[in-house]
A and B are shown apart, each in its own frame.
Chain A
Amino acid sequence: MRQLLYLVRQNLRRRPFRAWLMIGGIVLACATLFPAAILSKGIQDTLQTSRERMGADIVAVPAQSREEALAALISGEPTTFYMPSSLEAQVRQIPGVKRTCAQVYLRSLDAACCVVQVTLIGYDPERDFTIAPWVLQKTGERQRNNQIIVGAKVISAVVGTPAKAIGQRLIFMGKPFTVASILEPTGLGADYTVFLTMETAYRLVRESPLYPVPIRQDQVSTILVQVEEGTDPAAVAEDIERNVPEVKALTSGRLTRFFSLRLQGLADALLLAGGIFGFLAAGLVGSLFALSVRQRMRELGLFRAMGAGRGVVFRLIILEAACIAGIGGAIGVLIGACATYFSKDLITGMIGNVYVWPGNRDFLAIVLLIMAASLITGILGGLYPALRISRLEPYEAIRRGE
C-alpha cells in the first residue's frame, strides 16, 4: 500500500494540471453542499426546537394580523396587534380546550438599553403556562409590577452573562425595571422578549404619549391555548376559527410551516446547486479519469509487465481517485465551513434571529457525510476506467497506449 501511495503521490505531483482540475470539481461540489447541508440541518433543528418550545398547543391571534403575529411569534420581530380580551372567554368554551391565557405585545420605543430592539410582552403570571417552564432562575416569588423576566438573547445583548443579569436595572419606555428572572434560550421570539406583568404593560402604554397604537385595558394580542390530552390541536384550531371568526388559530405545525417556508427555499436552492455540482464533479472525475487512464494505458500495461497483477492496477487507480476525492473533499469542506462561518450573520439576517445553528456533533457528522460522499463520488468516477484497464491483457494495454 505504501508503494501504491507513493506512485499515486508522484503521479499527482508530476501531472498537476489534470489532478487539480479533478480536485477543483470536487471542491466546488463540496463547498456548495456543505453550507446547504448545514443550513438544512439548522432548519430541521429550528423547526423541531420551535415545536417543542412553543409551550402552547394553539396560539390564537387577530384574524386580520396573521402575518404580523407570525413574525412576532417566530422571530421576535417587534410588532403590535390587538383584539378584544373577551375573545379569550369564547375560545375557552370550545370543546377540547383545557386552559387559556392571554398576552399583550408592546413595541419597545426606546431601544437605548439594548443593541437589539425587543418586544415587550405583558402576561398574567398567575395564569400563564408558557413562560414558567423556561424560567432559568426561579425565585419562587410572584413577579411584581416593577420586575421583568428577560429572554436569553436580550440578556446576552444587554448584560452579557446570565449570572450578572438578576437584579440589574433596565429602562424601558422611560420606566426602570429590575430583572427578576431570565429565560432559557427557546429558539423562538421569546429570546428577544422582555416579559412584564399585564398590568404594567397597560400602564406603560397609558403613560407613554408617544406610543403609536392606543391599547385599552380590554385588549390582548394573543390567546394561548392548551388542549385536553388526547385531543388533536389541529381539530381544535379549526373549531376555534369556525366559532370565533375574529381569530386565526395557529398550531405549532402551522407556525413552523410558515417558518420553514422562509428557510426551505434557500436550503433547497443550495442543495440543488450542490447536487448539480456533485453530479458534474462525478462526471468530470469519471471522464478525466477515463482520459487519464487512456493516456496512461501504456504505463499501466508496463506495470503489468513488471509484475503488477490486475488487482494492483485496479487498486492503484481507485486509490488515486480516492486521494483526489479526499483532497478535494477536505478543501471543499474547509471552504464551505469558512463560507458558512463568515456568512453566519448574513444567513441569520435572511432567516431571522431564531435560526438554530447545528451543534458540534451535527457539524462533525455533516463534515464526515460530505467527505464520504466526496470519496464515493471519486471512487465511482475511477471505477469504470479501473475495471476496464485491469481487464486488459498487458500487451493489449501497451499496444493501445502507443
Chain B
Amino acid sequence: MIRLENIGKRYKDLTVLDRIDWRIEDAAFVLVTGRSGGGKTTLLSIMGGLTRPDEGKVFIDDVDIWRLSEPDLAALRNRKLGFVFQFPSLIPTLRVLDNVLLPIAFSGRTPDREDRESALSLLGMVGITGKEDAYPSQLSGGQQRRVAIARAMINRPSVILADEPTGDLDETTEAEIMGLFQRINRQGVLVVMVTHALDYSSFGTPYLLKNQQVLPYEGESSPKGAKSGAS
C-alpha cells in the first residue's frame, strides 16, 4: 500500500504538486495521465524515493520513506520497488543477464545460481530467451524495455513504478508490454504507471494529474474535481 499525505513539490517558483493526498491499495494497477511537464514523473519519483518532496509524507507499507536514513531508503528501493523508465535504462556495458541481476548485486550479495535461474525465468516471462549474453545495443527498443521489466521484478518487489514505459514503442510492442504489466499486476504487485495514452483504462484505474492535484479520471473532458481517490 502506498499513501501520500499532503505532498508538495516546487521547482523554484513553479509549484508542480500541491498538497496531494492519495492512497493506493496493494495489488492495484493505477494509471496516471496528464499533460507534459505536469509533474507526473516527479510524483512517481517522490513515491519511489528518488526525489524528496518539499512537504508531506510518503508511506509504503506504513513506513514513512522520507524519514528513513539514506542507506535504509536505498535498501527499501532495492527490496520493495521496481522501476521501469521511459528511456532505455539498461546499462550498456553489461550483458542482459547481468543487467537483470544488478539489483541483487546492489542488495549486498553476490548473485548465486538460484538468482541466475530466477533471472532466466523472468527473461522467459518477458519473452527474451537466448539473449542473456547479448549487450543492450544488440537488442531492439522493445526487447530492451522487456529486459528492464525483468530487472524491475528480480527482487520480487511489491510495487512497480513505470514511467511511460511504452512511450517510444510501436503499437504491437506497446500492447505486449502492457500485457506484461497486467500479468505482473495479477501476481499481486502494485503497479503505478505514468502514461500519455488514454486508452489503457482497461488495464487499471486511471487518474489525471491536473492543477497540481491527482484526480480520478473519468474521460477526456470530465475529470472529477475530487482530491483523493482509491484503487
A310 and B93 contacting across the interface, CB-CB below 8 Å: no
22 contacting pairs across A/B (C-beta < 8 A)? A6-B105, A10-B94, A11-B93, A14-B92, A14-B93, A299-B91, A302-B91, A305-B48, A305-B77, A305-B83, A306-B83, A306-B106, A306-B151, A307-B78, A307-B79, A307-B107, A307-B155, A309-B74, A393-B50, A393-B52, A394-B50, A394-B51
When chains A and B are docked, how far (Å) is the Cα of A309 from the Cα of B49? 12
Q: Which interface residue of B42, B70, B74 has the most chain A CB atoms within 10 A?
A: B74
Q: List chain B residues, Cβ under 8 A from A299.
A: 91-92
CB distance from B100 to the nearest CB of A (A): 11
CB distance from B85 to the nearest CB of A (A): 7
B152 to chain A: closest residue by CB: A306
* Interface check A30, CB cutoff 8 A: no
A307 and B93 contacting across the interface, CB-CB below 8 Å: no
Question: Which residue numbers of B lie inside 8 Å of A, CB to CB?
Answer: 42, 45, 48-52, 70-71, 74-75, 77-79, 83, 85, 87, 89, 91-94, 98, 102-103, 105-107, 110, 135, 151, 155
CB distance from B115 to the nearest CB of A (A): 12
Q: List chain B residues, Cβ under 8 A from A11.
A: 93
* Interface check A229, CB cutoff 8 A: no
When chains A and B are docked, how far (Å) is the Cα of A13 from the Cα of B51? 32
* Interface check A199, CB cutoff 8 A: no
B110 and A393 contacting across the interface, CB-CB below 8 Å: no
Q: List chain A residues, Cβ under 8 A from B151.
A: 306
* Interface check A361, CB cutoff 8 A: no
Which residue of B77, B93, B155 is within 8 Å of A15 (Cβ)? B93
Question: Which residue numbers of A lie inside 8 Å of B, CB to CB?
Answer: 2-3, 6-7, 10-11, 13-15, 298-299, 302-312, 393-396, 398, 402
B51 and A312 contacting across the interface, CB-CB below 8 Å: no
B50 and A307 contacting across the interface, CB-CB below 8 Å: no
When chains A and B are docked, how far (Å) is the Cα of A10 from the Cα of B98? 10
Q: List chain A residues, Cβ under 8 A from B42.
A: 395
B106 and A303 contacting across the interface, CB-CB below 8 Å: yes
When chains A and B are docked, how far (Å) is the Cα of A111 from the Cα of B112? 75
A309 to chain B: closest residue by CB: B74
Give me 15 other A-B pairs in contact (C-beta within 8 A), A15-B93, A306-B83, A394-B77 excluded: A10-B94, A11-B93, A14-B93, A298-B87, A303-B102, A304-B50, A306-B78, A306-B103, A307-B75, A309-B71, A309-B74, A310-B74, A393-B52, A395-B50, A402-B87
A304 and B87 contacting across the interface, CB-CB below 8 Å: no
The 9 closest A-B pairs by CB, nearest first: A307-B78, A395-B51, A14-B93, A395-B50, A309-B74, A3-B105, A395-B45, A307-B106, A394-B50
A306 and B93 contacting across the interface, CB-CB below 8 Å: no
CB distance from A118 to the nearest CB of B (A): 64
CB distance from A366 to the nearest CB of B (A): 35
Whether A308 contacts B51 in the complex (CB less than 8 A), given A302-B89, A302-B91, A398-B85, comes out as no
When chains A and B are docked, how far (Å) is the Cα of A15 from the Cα of B106? 22
A393 and B51 contacting across the interface, CB-CB below 8 Å: yes
Which residue of B48, B70, B110 is within 8 Å of A3 (Cβ)? B110
When chains A and B are docked, how far (Å) is the Cα of A11 from the Cα of B102? 14
B103 to chain A: closest residue by CB: A306
Q: List chain B residues, Cβ under 8 A from A305.
A: 48, 50, 77, 83
B107 to chain A: closest residue by CB: A307
Whether A306 contacts B110 in the complex (CB less than 8 A), given A395-B50, A398-B85, comes out as no
B110 and A2 contacting across the interface, CB-CB below 8 Å: yes
Which residue of A3, A308, A395 is within 8 Å of B74 (Cβ)? A308
Q: List chain B residues, Cβ under 8 A from A402.
A: 87
A310 to chain B: closest residue by CB: B70
CB distance from A335 to the nearest CB of B (A): 28
When chains A and B are docked, how far (Å) is the Cα of A308 from the Cα of B83? 13
Q: List chain A residues, Cβ under 8 A from B70.
A: 309-310
Q: List chain B residues, Cβ under 8 A from A7.
A: 93-94, 105
When chains A and B are docked, how far (Å) is the Cα of A94 from the Cα of B155? 92
Q: List chain A residues, Cβ under 8 A from B92.
A: 14, 299
B80 to chain A: closest residue by CB: A307
Q: List chain A residues, Cβ under 8 A from B48.
A: 305
When chains A and B are docked, how far (Å) is the Cα of A394 from the Cα of B79? 16
Whether A307 contacts B74 in the complex (CB less than 8 A), given A14-B92, A302-B89, A312-B106, comes out as yes
Q: List chain B residues, Cβ under 8 A from A398.
A: 50, 85
A307 and B103 contacting across the interface, CB-CB below 8 Å: yes
Q: Which interface residue of A14, A299, A304, A395 has the most chain B CB atoms within 10 A?
A: A395
When chains A and B are docked, how far (Å) is the Cα of A288 from the Cα of B107? 29
A3 to chain B: closest residue by CB: B105
A394 to chain B: closest residue by CB: B50
B110 and A10 contacting across the interface, CB-CB below 8 Å: no
Q: List chain B residues, Cβ under 8 A from A310.
A: 70, 74
CB distance from A188 to the nearest CB of B (A): 59
B93 and A10 contacting across the interface, CB-CB below 8 Å: yes
